[in-house]
Amino acid sequence: MRLLPGIALLFGIGFLGKLIEHEFTHLRTEYHLRLPQIEYVLWAIILGLIVSNSIGVKPIFRPGVATYELWLKLGIVLVGARFVFSDV
């Protein structure tokens, strides 16, 4: 139970990264703006860096945020599996 707030924060930042990627794609295609094409994972990393270096992480979130490495490795494995299964 101690991990849930931090894990929710991680997933929230990841979801926000996905929304930013979607919005940038929309602005590039609809309005032909010259915006960078950045994957949502990189947006989530950038958002995490901004949060941790500006306002910091409250103690209630720290146990769950400490599990970021597990989620990062799991995501890398699943992305790799997606590419392998698409080739089959």
- pLDDT tens string 21-77: 999 999 999 999 999 999 988 999 999 999 999 999 999 999 999 999 999 899 888
What's the pLDDT at 84?
A: 74
Total domain count, the chain: 1
Is residue 40 within 8 A of residue 20, CB to CB? The reply is: yes
pLDDT digits (tens, 9 = 90+) for 50-65: 999 999 999 999 999 9
Q: Which amino acid does the sequence have at 20?
A: I
Enumerate residues 6+ apart whose C-beta is below 8 A from 5. 60, 61, 64
Domain with 74 in it: 4-87
Q: DSSP letter string over 18-54?
A: HHHHHHHHHHHHHH--------HHHHHHHHHHHHHHH
* The pLDDT of residue 88 is above 80: no
